[in-house]
Structure 1
Amino acid sequence: MNLENNLFTDTEEKRIKALQSYNILDSLTEQDYDDITLMASIICDVPIALVSFVDKDRQWFKSNLGLETKSTPRSDSFCSHAIEAINEPFIITDSRTDERFKDNPLVVGDPNIVFYAGIPIVTEDGLGLGTVCIIDNKPRELTQKQLVALKMLSNQAMNLLQLRKVNNDLNIAQLALEIQNKKLEVYNKDLEVLIDKNLSDRVKEIAAQNITLATMNKELEAFNYISSHDLQEPLRKIQFFSSIIIDKELHSLSDKGQNYLLRIGKSADRMSMLIKDLLAYSRTTTTEKTFEKILLSKLIQDIKYDLQEEIVEKNAIITLENDLEIKTITFQFRQLLHNILSNSLKFSSTSAAPRIIFQCVLDNGNTFRKPFLDRSKSYYYLKITDNGIGFDNQYKDKIFELFQRLGSQELQMGTGIGLAIVKKIVENHNGFIEAESHENIGTTLHIYIPEVA
């Protein structure tokens, strides 16, 4: 018995929860439900027809044709019995002779129920929520067609409930969407304000950077002018007067004086070379990048002409193994080749004539198997090899830094800027440079320049 009561309680809890999920109780009258009661009354020719829902302690009428009240206590309800027989119509032919109802207040008092027929309104889960019921004040019987019609009206009531639930869910979802949209609008406005502020701050920052850059460019131009004119001019005078003294007065000086004078001349020459190299380095940063096509052989021929005296003096052999038309910033690339060739001549071996070999190919980045190259691009690969004094290979990266000179003190004839200029020019072409060397064997430079359309 306890088990049956527990099962009943569980089922009843599910039924009440299902009824509440439709949000139908105490709702306003609706024409669709009133049409159902009107049809039931006409089909069965009765004065009272109801669409009734059984709550926990009451039965409530969504539509009540022929009845004034909106609800009655569940303890007096005929419909409470009807929802338990969910698969069958619940019919009381004459309540006055039925032991269950003869003393019911709704039988002995208003509305004086004698005949009752209720068709349960049942969910898909088999839970009876209420009934479509008809009432009369006299005994009667229903035909099979009338029962079928009442069943159809009960199903229609359930369909209306289901539609109501779907609409309620849609309304809730729409309300949630509207709330979310309002939140999103507020967020977007806040985001727009934030973007506008950040953009404004960034514009101001860029403007300030442009002003700073313009100032730096002016200072660099001033430096270039000072370097090319104000610094070079005193040096030219030192060199000029030193050369006059050497030509005309050297014999009248002591050996120590002659040594000092010669050292002054060499220092002035070195200072002049340093200024020229610094100017060349600054130009690689500030000049406009205009790419042009030119034969590599043409560039090397021009450089050989510039360095003719050194080449002849050292019996240097300069070879281009394969010519190629390359697209570069021409005057910068000429400077690059000039510095490399000049370096090879300066640091040549005393035991063998300088031999400098240029090799150049154009190929896909994947061919060279270098992790820093883009495999989807093509590169000019320039390999320059000499047989000079070389250097310890552990310094292969350091040689491209400004003012770095390697080797014996007596062989340090450069300014330490030449290869820094070379690297800067390679970077201006979005390229890469590597070096490898061994002391007293020679040096090889590997240059990769991306092909420009």
Structure 2
Amino acid sequence: MTNHTFGETSGVELKLAFAGDESARVAALHSYHMFDTEEEKDFDVLTALASAICQIPIVLITFIDETRQTFKSHHGTDFRENLRELSFCTHTIASSEEIMIVPDARQDARFVDNPMVTGPTKVVFYAGVSLINEDGFALGTLCVIDQKTHSLSDDQVHALKTLAKQVVDKIELRRKVRQLEKANQELAQSEQRKDDFLGMVSHELKTPITTLKANLQLIDKLKHSPAAPVFSRIIDSSARSLVKINGMVDDLLNMYRYSENQLQLEKTTFTIYDMLHVCCNHVRIDGKHELVITGDDKLQMHADEHRIDQVVVNFVNNAVKYAPDSKEIYLNISREGSYVKISVKDTGPGIPDKHLPHLFDRYWRADHSGVKYTGLGLGLYICSEIIKRHDGHIGAESELGKGSTFWFKLPVAHLC
């Protein structure tokens, strides 16, 4: 789309008018997506009606950002935009008046040297009504322009104000429709993630259940020969399957409890270092990773120790699972302003930036490039819910090739 601009500054320095909170106003304006868009008949109808009512040839619907004034509708002219510094409408949106009328710009100190007045456009008369959104921001104007003087009647002024409100109604409706479409799209994506999750749950539960069923069938066949060498291995395999099934069912039940606000916290006061020193013993016993505890060994916390332990265990288990070559896993305790922070750091492959915002989502699980990992992927979601119930914050930082750090912080109000 070719844009035509009203004029050039020609070296003239103009004093610009600005609205109160300009950055907030511009941010609100951009939420409507009015710049660099196609013309629309709905707006053209309103400018044509304004022209007929006011008996003025040029009517514009304009929106003004930091530097530009775009014309969403431009009845009576081919111009489609203007420089903000030349715009009469910049003064309108900065004014507290319901309508700004300039009977003769040639006699107005604000515009007497404006190239729109002295140049080929020869603007003489201007009247503009601010387009004020529901949050009170003046986004642009509905304005009428002519090359000769005019005097608007009360009815014409009232009509311009009414038409300006209709413009605002239309853009508000457009924004709400866009927001609704976005919400529907996000809902559809959420439902798809939920369906994918349910399919994954079915698959993950099927494997240990199938193994357990096969083991029970073997046990039934060998029940008269319990001393057979294979018998103990079958029992061990069955026990592992039951542990997997029990863990997945616990995760699903916890997810439900947290989503329904049914989690009950049993808070006590405990020393964080002592908790870290005894948690994750399964990792210490395995002997493949060393848990290195650093930081303030005196800090105490008033929280549900079992739930906080659950979060730390999940962080450490993830480090073992996704960073198996990270021989040392660092658990750090620190005080950050009004928060106490616990972090778990590995030196594994790291996590891509695009995955970081989704790590704690309920139905999200990353694609690990063909590497097969078991589990429902609910651990981090459950951790985030536990920390939220403690009025804390949770997060992760990572750099590819250098490792990841998972952390949570609880406010100092929970300390003693």
Q: TM-score per shorter chain, which class?
A: 0.3 to 0.5
Q: Which has the higher contact order (CA 8 A, sep 6+)?
A: 2
Give the TM-score normalised by structure 1.
0.43
Counting helix residues as a fraction of each chain, which structure ranks higher? 1
Give the TM-score normalised by structure 2.
0.47
Larger radius of gyration: 1
